[in-house]
Copies of this chain bind each other. A is one copy, B any other.
Amino acid sequence: MTGTRQPGTGNGLARFSINQMTVKQLPLPELAAACAELGVGGVGLWREPVQEYGVEKASRLFADAGLTVTSLCRGGFFTAADHDAMLADNRAAIDEAAALRTDTLVLVSGGLPEGGQDLIEARARIGGALAELAPYAAERGVRLAIEPLHPMYAADRCAVSTLGQALELAAPFPAEVVGVVVDTYHLWWDERVEQQIADAGAAGRIHCFQLADWVTPLPEGVLTGRGQLGDGCIDMARFRRVVDAAGYTGPIEVEIFNEGMWARDGFEILRETTERFRATAP
């Protein structure tokens, strides 16, 4: 340990942001302190732990620590049966994002509606919900970021499986209101992704860039099997080069859901993650 460092100055972490799910064992104050200690300048937050701590209190905590909240996860689940409750919850998520002074709300759009079989129709419903929510988000200065999830989640979590589909859904809206998330874990398999990242960058729609590695075997439920950077088969440096070349200059979040990492010491995981992140430099 070399004591407190200036976030992101000459430490290879200038664009690094830690998504709090990567170190969910750290309570918010410990997360803020660990970031200060390790020279980390950005955090991606999740609604549930923030609500538990208090939204305003969390906003002050990270502001006082000099940390930028790079995104809030998550809105979405637009295909839910109770449409009004879904809209109300998404408006609350937008309000929380504004209160946390982050410009980006990440959206997990929802899978097939109950009993549904038609992904195209599900995506149409997602587009309809975006149209209902975009003005509310625009008024509050919050960008909606559609996250394509891996096709293995298409049925039950997100009918948006490719960056191309996310861009199509974003297209009717101004780029500063609706954009996309580029997450290596969800997109690495797709031969079209490099072109689509270029398209997203040209359109000014890359609102969030997240890293996690692909490791096998996948665990039951396939939610908590993401790999630490470098432990899997994704060429992170190449992804970073492609996203850089698309003109994206924003933060790069590391968001890993992994039971093994959650079982270890949170500070140690954050330190390891900063080292792994440096090794992904293009």
Using CB atoms and an 8 Å cutoff, list the residues of chain A in contact with chain B.
112, 116-120, 150-152, 154-156, 161, 165, 189-191, 214, 216-222, 232-235, 238
Contact = CB atoms under 8 A, between A and B. Distances in A.
Contacts of A112: 233
Contact of A219 (B118, B190, B220, B232): B220
B190 A117 contact: no
Contacts of A154: 189
A213 to B, nearest CB: 10
Contacts of A116: 233
B216 A155 contact: yes
What are the 9 tightest A-B residue pairs by CB atom distance, in nearest-first order? Answer: A151-B189, A117-B235, A152-B152, A220-B220, A154-B189, A217-B221, A156-B216, A155-B233, A218-B222
Contact of A217 (B165, B191, B220, B234): B220
A118 B218 CA distance: 20
Given A151-B151, A155-B214, A191 B235 contact: no
This chain: how many copies in the complex?
2
A119 B189 contact: yes
7 contacts: A116-B233, A119-B189, A152-B218, A152-B222, A156-B217, A218-B222, A219-B220
A272 B155 CA distance: 24
Contacts of A155: 214, 216, 232-233
A232 B115 CA distance: 9
A120 to B, nearest CB: 7
Contacts of A217: 156, 220-222
Given A151-B150, A152-B151, A233-B112, A120 B220 contact: no
Nearest to A238: B117
Contact of A222 (B118, B161, B214, B222): B222
A205 B151 CA distance: 25
